[in-house]
Structure 1
Amino acid sequence: MLVLAGGRVVSVDSLVDAVWGGRPPNTARTQVAICVGALRKAFRSALFDDPVIETTHPGYRILTSVCTFDARDFAAVCAEAAESIRLGRVDEGVGLYRKALDLWTGPALSGVAGQVVEDEATRLEAERLAAYEALFDAELALGRHQEVLPELSALADDQPLHEKLRHTLMLAQYRSGRRAEAAEGFRNWRRRFVEEIGIEPSASIHELHRAVLQDAPELSLRGDGEPRSGRRALPAELPAAVPEFLGREAELAVLDTLVADAGDGGPSSTSRPRAGVVAGAAGVGKTSLVAYWAHRVLRHFPDGQLYADLSQYEWTQPTATVHALLGRFLRVLGVAAELVPDRPDECVSLYRSLLADRRVLVVLDNACSLVHIQPFLPGCGPSRVVATTGGRQDPMAVGIGAVRVDLGPLPDAQAVELVARIIGERRVLEDTSAVYELGRLCGRLPLALRAAAGRLAVKPHWSVRHLVHRLAKGSRRLDELSAGGLEVRQGLERGYRRLPEEAARMCRMLGLLDAPDFTAHAGAVLLAVDHVAAEDAMEQLFDMHLLTVVGTDASGALRYAFHGLVRPFARERALAEESDQTRQAALNRLSGMHLTGLSISH
């Protein structure tokens, strides 16, 4: 439990709950203290001079400064590998992925029981498989189809319901001259998949199967990695559309105005907006909406689709970052690397010249400001840019004359329908009220709902009510909402790290409150700042979709509240980043405010 917390404080109550569940002995807290003492003795016997476990209210934590964690090292090396591949150093990325996977000597957390440990082992296994996916994609990009075939085949057989591995295996088999084996393997695999899951595999793997049967030329690579067909492949970088996408008709209609035209149905170069901006809270489904819409209107962009996740770039030097990303887009559009201009302004000019007579869709995910979008706008012509942002989009959208979409949580009925699509109608009908409660605990955010439903899908012995009970404890909610790579905490973390320091501190301290809503006065007391400074900080949280306005109090002061899953995240950050003394002093000031007859909502 201490190691899995990664340096965060684990309360004694959490330790008791993890070891004994709902039936601890009367001596549980004493036994925890005895166990911690034994661990400290073991570390001393292993010649650790510095303390490894620290006692800190309300429990203990591992001091990460004196420890190394193979799981943390694995994640760091995988991130380094992904960055190398993004920069075009594919061979280096392959070596780093191999280095990361060599850290695994067997199943994660083998031999340790307990629900928390088992859930973490499941998450780590998902990360291992994701690393293998990225590794094999890179190996195939380098033309090493035959070399990876034995390893890839063994892993795909070990994970018979893993579509991505099967897709990659089929491609490797085809490129190794084993066309019949690829086709027959798919048929056998599909039969087992349908029997065990009850649904058809994705459209993309069916399309690959058809391409294999037709001996489609675009499946094969020449020795230099270029497509076997005579022309350069068009860019098709869009993320996959979410299979359980539903609703959002009004928002899709707004985006459709980017391609509506009275003539041939394609984007108009003069009368239509050139860009769209989709804004909303982390996990609300911005990327899913744009991906779904983009795949729906592919016919309007026959010259390709470009995609970049701007959160993966370092923006301390915006000009250099824009230049690097424009350079990548230019190379993808067919410009030889040696012909990409060295000057950023010349890059922009060349990029706009290329788009002027092409129909290309550019998707920029997780933009923060206008500087992230402006250089990528086409100067004229039918190409379009769509951006997503976690901040309020009006200044950004108005600045570029974009169509605007503000995305909110799903309605209750659609939240239930989304869960039903993943776990099946039968389990929903068994306890509909629990599914509605599940939606509430997930803030009706599609990402959180998919994560929760994903957990239920792989644990058929769990009832929906059982998961609701697990999610009801706010301190564990974000840990619970992680399945299949759907990490709710990561999206919240991205928005939080973009906050100015005073706004981030306001977020942390408001997370200590149990009140459903609060005014700027409460924030001013918590931070010991004046009312205007507190209101400014809370408005910055509002701008990043971390707070919402729920009304006014009797005096007319605005009342703010956290969005669904932000409160437990804010409390996490407060426990991790604020000292016990700071937190207690803030709460004491708030208690003093109560004693004077004021309330949090004043």
Structure 2
Amino acid sequence: MAGASEPAAPPKPRPHQLPPDVQDLAGRAEHLRQLDDLAPRAGTVVVTAVSGTAGVGKTTLAVHWAHRAADRFPDGLLYADLRGFDPGGAAADQREAVRAFLEALGVGPRDVPTTSEARLGLYRTLLADKRVLVLLDNARDAAHARPLIAGGTGSLVIVTSRNRLTSLMTTNNAVPVVLDLLTDDEARSLLAARLGQARVAAEPEAVTEVVRQCAHLPLALVLAAARAAASTLTLTAPAGELRESGGLDGLHVHDDDADVRSVFSWSYRLLSAPAARALRLHPAREFDLASAASALAEDPVATQRALRELTGCHLLTEDTAGRCSVHDLLRAYAADLCAQVDSPADGEAATRRPLDHYRNTAPAADRIITPTSDHMATPSPVPGVHLTPLDGGAEALAWFAAARSVLPAIADLSPAAGLADHVWQTTCSSTRSSTAKATAWTSTTPRRAHWRRRSAAGTSRAGRGRANAWPGEHPARTPRRGRGTPADGADPAPRARRRGPAGPDLHEPRTPGHPPAGPHGRAAPGAPSATRTSAISRGAPKR
């Protein structure tokens, strides 16, 4: 009929590309609040960068919040996995991501422009007056995600990455949301959500062991929970399996997307050679720049570049004082890499040089704090060792305070070949006049005399290897490192049973009445039993 209007085109569907939600998200209340509080900015799209180490739950958090806030974005929810850390090494092509977005927004295949610039232009045009959520998952870096940032007032773009995406914060005013390891309570809540509250409450000691062996890492905890859920046994069995296997092997699954070691490898293979070497060789869980430069026998400037790369991709955590730390599963992964890549001599030297650093820096700090006291002379450091520069008593006290988790642990070192002198000479720089220094040294006094006697008597046994040189390396990894075995007839089992796979934890309080150590790190005969602790390798996870 002439003049009749054309039939109206069917409405285009609202795109909803999000992956399925995780209903039992544990913890992360503060991070969810951060996302809730992102206010729309007039005339621009809001960008947030969610970052954190491998397996910490970035995608889980972003997807969960996106489902929860879906009503805020009436024009659609777009999602793209950019595969920036794909095990095959091939990140997603942005051009294909834009094509998928255009099709989700109702553009027919024949209407998609042929050039990438035209496709990006059409994508931005379609979103310019819409309120949408765009979730760009697993971006390798800021450049990987930036072309896909689009939307009108009230829109939000969430970018997740193992890297910090600092340039997005600079050029796109992105709001950072940084995920750390779970707290004890959050880790227990995750296990309870997967296994049931009654089962978790019934075995608190086993749960504590599972959380410790998983280093509070969400991916590891989920794998451990899945293994426990498939068993009718008590939690004590999987906890013991994790303890005996040293964590990583006990969490192995035949799925590269879920296997902890494989997930770590995706970050490692993208590191520069200096950063990869720094991750492999430093033996301690916590360290400062001078200690790291000593381990690597590198210039501090070059070492700082390597550490910044590692902190930038969340393979290390840096605190406000500039000290770095690494969680236990990553340390175990780095130890395995060291055994595969570096020679035993390199690994041994990387253990001894930081000890030389502490043996010489501690007395130097002590001389500044107590200049009128008699001071012990120590041998000159070996080539490659760097001392922390200290200017005045305040810096010396600050050094002792910052190193408090490392220095007492040196007093717990096993009698590895040639290390007894390092132990007693370092710990003899003990408290004389300062409450701050006393805090760091409270528990070392009973052991200093023991180690000096052992050194003078020449009773140090031949190489226990790097695993025992720095407390906390799992005994099962020592043979693979090829760094020596216990002396003939020696039985390392009591030490392994007492310390556990990640070594004792020095963040627990100790008292001056701590029993003196006997040979091989055991309590002296007749001494009262006590839990011995060491943060040089483990320590409580940073919050």
TM-score by length of 2: 0.58
- 1:292-327 residue CA offsets vs partner (Å, 9 max, x unmatched): 110011122233322122226889999x93223212
8 Å Cα contact 1:251/1:405 also seen in 2? yes
> Which aligned pairs between 1:11-160 and structure 2 lie closer than 5 A?
none
Secondary structure, counterpart of 1:387 in structure 2: strand
1:524 equivalenced with 2:320 (yes/no): no
Counterpart of 1:364 in 2: which secondary structure?
A: strand
Residue 507 (structure 1) shift: 0.8
Inter-CA distance 425–483: structure 2 relative to 1 (3 Å threshold): farther
Paired residues of 1:522 and 1:590 also in contact (CA < 8 A): yes
Report the equivalent of 2:314.
Answer: 545
2:102 counterpart of 1:330: yes
2:230 matched residue in structure 1: 458
CA distance in 1 between counterparts of 2:17 and 2:342 reads: 41
Per-residue CA shift, 1:56-114, capped at 9, x if unaligned? xxxxxxxxxxxxxxxxxxxxxxxxxxxxxxxxxxxxxxxxxxxxxxxxxxxxxxxxxxx
For 1:350 and 1:490, locate their aligned partners in 2 and report how far apart those are by CA, in whole Å: 38
Following superposition, the deviation at residue 331 of structure 1 comes to 2.5
Mapped to 1, the partners of 2:264 and 2:204 lie a distance apart of 29
Aligned match for 2:213, one of 437, 441, 448? 441
Choose which of 370, 392, 398 in structure 1 pairs with 2:142. 370
Distance in 1 (CA, whole Å) between partners of 2:263 and 2:297 is 29
Gaps of 5+ in 2: 1-8, 360-378, 388-402, 408-543
Classify 1:559/1:385 alpha carbon distance in 2 versus 1 (closer, same or farther; 3 Å).
closer
- Are positions 1:566 and 2:338 aligned together? no
1:235 aligns with 2:4: no
User: How many Å separate the matches in 2 of 1:465 and 1:530?
Assistant: 47
Q: How does 1:301-312 map to 2 (within 5 A)?
A: 301-311=73-83
Contact 1:452 1:483 in 2 (8 A): no
CA shift at 1:576, angstroms? 2.8
How far is 1:533 from its partner?
A: 0.9
1:405 is paired with a residue whose SS is strand
Letter in 2 for 1:568: A
Distance 1:310 1:395, change over 3 A: same
| Structure 2 partner of 1:390 | 162
Partner residue, 2:238: 467
Matched, 1:422 2:194: yes
CA RMSD of aligned residues (A): 3.3
User: What residue identity is the alignment partner of 1:561?
Assistant: S
Show CA shifts across 1:20-79 (max 9, x none): xxxxxxxxxxxxxxxxxxxxxxxxxxxxxxxxxxxxxxxxxxxxxxxxxxxxxxxxxxxx
Match of 2:125 in 1: 353
Q: Provide the rounded CA distance (Å) in 2 between the counterparts of 1:483 and 1:501.
A: 28
SS of residue matched to 1:363: strand
Note if 1:507 corresponds to 2:276: no
Instruction: Give the drift of 1:387.
Output: 0.8
Classify 1:473/1:332 alpha carbon distance in 2 versus 1 (closer, same or farther; 3 Å). Answer: same
SS at match of 2:178: strand
Amino acid at match of 1:469: G
Deviation at 1:582, TM superposition (A): 4.4
Distance in 2 separating the partners of 1:256 and 1:592: 50
Local SS of the residue matching 2:248:
helix
The answer as to whether partners of 2:241 and 2:250 remain within 8 angstroms in 1 is no
SS at match of 1:311: coil
Q: SS in structure 2 opposite 1:367?
A: coil
Query: For residues 256 and 588 of structure 1, do their structure 2 counterparts lie closer, same or farther at Cα, with a shift above 3 Å needed?
Result: closer
- Residue 535 of structure 1, CA deviation: 2.1
Are 1:247 and 2:27 counterparts? yes
Q: Which has the higher relative contact order, 1 or 2, with Cα contacts under 8 A spaced 6 or more apart?
A: 2
Write out per-residue CA displacement over residues 426-485 of structure 1, whole angstroms, 9 at most, x where no aligned residue: 322222133123222222222221111111100121x32332332235645254254986
Q: What is the CA distance between 1:278 and its match in structure 2?
A: 1.0
Aligned mates of 1:347, 1:442 — CA distance in 2 = 45
Conserved 8 A contact 1:237-1:305: yes
Pairs aligned (count):
356
Counterpart residue number, 2:61? 289
Q: 2:52 touches 2:162 (CA, 8 Å); kept in 1?
A: yes
Q: Distance in 2 between matches of 1:231 and 1:271?
A: 26
Determine the C-alpha separation between the residues in 1 that align with 2:113 and 2:345: 55
Q: Secondary structure at the match of 1:236?
A: coil
Mapped partners of 2:199, 2:85: distance in 1 = 42
Within 2, Cα distance between the matches of 1:581 and 1:234? 62
Taking only the aligned residue pairs, the percentage that are identical comes to 34
Change in 2 beyond 3 A, CA 1:493/1:313: closer
> Which has the larger share of helix?
1
Q: 2:52 aligns with which of 277, 280, 285?
A: 280
- Mapped to 1, the partners of 2:244 and 2:85 lie a distance apart of 35
Distance 2:44 2:29 in 1: 20
Structure 1: tracts of 5 or more residues without a match = 1-228, 261-267, 553-557
- Is contact 2:129-2:151 (8 Å) kept? no
